[in-house]
Amino acid sequence: MLIAVVLGIMVGRLFPEFGKSLKPLGDAFIKLVKMMIAPIIFCTVVHGIASMSDLKKLGRVGVKSLVYFEVVSTFALIIGLVVVNILKPGAGFNIDPQTLDPQIGQTYAQRAHSLGVVSFFLNIIPNTLFDAFVSGDLLQVLLVSGLTAFALTGLGERGKPLLHAIESASQLLFGIMRIVVKLAPIGAFGAMAFTIGGYGLGALNRLVALMLAFYATAAVFVIVVLGAIAAASGFSITRFLVYIKEELLLVLGTSSSETALPGMIQKMRRLGCAESTVGLVIPTGYSFNPDGTSIYMTMAAIFLAQATNTPLSLGQQLTLLLVAMISSKGASGVTGAGFVGLAATLAVVPMAPMASLALLVGIDRFMSECRAITNLIGNGVATIVISRWEGEVSAETLRANLSNSPETIHETKTERAAPREATPTEP
């Protein structure tokens, strides 16, 4: 993966036109992964919930997860707001919004309209039972999965054959994923070559200041904030990053955290987290715990105000923060979703001209990679923290598993809420 990413950068830099032509390689790989996400989430959530003997635990885990998500993602929003006010990367840009293409802002504003609060919650309900799998919306899949799991639980003994069939289907789907992941270097190579060939390393110009500030802030958030949370839960954030290094490289190459979702589910299980906890926290976190997207939204919004010489009072910035707390929840792991969330925020709180979004279009691909990686790490840490709160895995077992290669970790009955066969090792 690392070699593929480096080669993609070199090809895009030296042969930009050829690099741009390699875009289908990255698109094809992302489509292959996304076609597997909905059925994998369905089988994981249904089997995890339906296998639980204590349904009170499900509600407890759900409440703990939502509280954790809201606190940590809000903290990320505040950090982004503080850093951008201190560094002021947009100061002195002196951009006249009248010189920018208004169509770009209008296009994203129209897309952002669907992220309204009412529309967001209504969109969780699919048009038909199978429409959730067609659209690939994770929240819709979670709703259908939850209803199916509770229905299976209500069937009692009659539902056990169906539960076994779902577990077998899950093993089949992860087998397919092992085949698909072997193509990851090709997809990462094509995606990187297109990104560098299309936008170029030198085309970033003065926007580099914003990029560096964002990357540095995300790094501090991961090491300091998530690191402190991890330490309080009995494990090292550094060891955790090494443990998920394959998923981080995959996200770096494809610029989408969804491509690493199946791998994260397997690795969280191997650490000792219960299947029901993993199945609930990981998919839900993609919409409700977007730490990287939260940092980006406040930094980008204030940057645009600085770049267009739009003065903002403390009260206006706090209003922006409150709106971003809601609009950030509508952005999932899809490439560019954070940009649409930013447009939704500016549509509700028009502190900077909507046309100024055109300034960020050229670098959004580079920003998206950092957003996705931070989101992925945040959701992984959240899963372990909730699992530790539930007493599913001890700190000693967690540290031992993190110190070993993922391929050498074996699941034991004492580490899991419900016994099941060990998940096959990853390629």
Residue 125, pLDDT > 50, answer yes
Residue 409's pLDDT is 45
For the segment 226-245, the average pLDDT, to the nearest whole number, is 93
Is the confidence at residue 410, as pLDDT, over 60? no
> What is the Cβ-side half-sphere exposure of residue 399, based on CA atoms within 13 angstroms?
10
* Cα–Cα separations (whole angstroms), residue 99 to 156, 210, 364: 66, 21, 20
Using CA atoms, how far residue 100 sits from 96, 119, 360, in Å, is: 7, 30, 11
| Amino acid code (one letter) for 67 | V
Sign of the C-alpha dihedral computed for residues 12, 15, 17 and 23 taken in this order: negative
Q: How confident is the model at residue 146 (pLDDT cuts 50, 70, 90)?
A: confident
Question: 341, 328 in Cβ contact below 8 A?
Answer: yes
pTM above 0.75, yes or no: no
Long-range contact pairs involving 166-171 (C-beta distance under 8 Å, separation at least 24): 166/43, 166/46, 166/47, 166/50, 167/43, 167/47, 167/420, 169/39, 169/43, 170/40, 170/43, 170/44, 170/47, 171/421, 171/424
Mean pLDDT across the stretch 409-418?
41
Q: Could you tell me how far CA 310 lies from the centroid of its own chain?
A: 31
Q: How far is CA 62 from CA 20, 279, 377, 387, in A?
A: 43, 11, 20, 12
All structural domains of the chain, each given as residue ranges with its CATH number in brackets, are: 2-407 (1.10.3860.10)
pLDDT, position 181: 75
pLDDT in tens, 88-116: 887 877 766 665 555 555 554 555 455 55
What does the pLDDT read at residue 414?
39
pLDDT tier for residue 239 given thresholds of 50, 70 and 90: very high
Which of 187-191, 196-200, 331-335, 414-418 has the highest mean predicted lDDT (pLDDT)? Answer: 187-191
Which residue bears the tokens 């994923």? Answer: 177
**Residue with the two structure tokens 């923290």:** 385
- Residue 361 above 70 pLDDT? no
Alpha carbon distances (Å) from 123 to 13, 34, 37, 326, 388: 41, 19, 18, 15, 32
Residue 106 burial by Cβ neighbours in a 10 Å radius (0-12, 13-18, 19+): middle
What's the pLDDT score for residue 358?
A: 67
Tokens found for residue 406: 């993922």
Q: Which residue has the higher pLDDT, 17 or 31?
A: 17
258 closest CA partner among 234, 222, 282: 282
CB 385 within 8 A of CB 233: yes
- DSSP assignments along 165-194, one per residue: HHHHHHHHHHHHHHHHHTTHHHHHHHHHHH
From residue 28, how far is each of 12, 67, 148, 183, 185 by CA, in Å? Answer: 18, 37, 31, 10, 12
pLDDT category at 83 given cuts 50, 70, 90 is very high
Query: Residues with Cβ < 8 Å from 305, sequence gap 6 or more?
Result: 90, 311, 312, 351, 352
pLDDT surpassing 80 at residue 294:
yes
- Alpha helix positions (H), 182-310: 184-199, 208-220, 227-232, 237-243, 245-254, 261-271, 275-288, 291-307
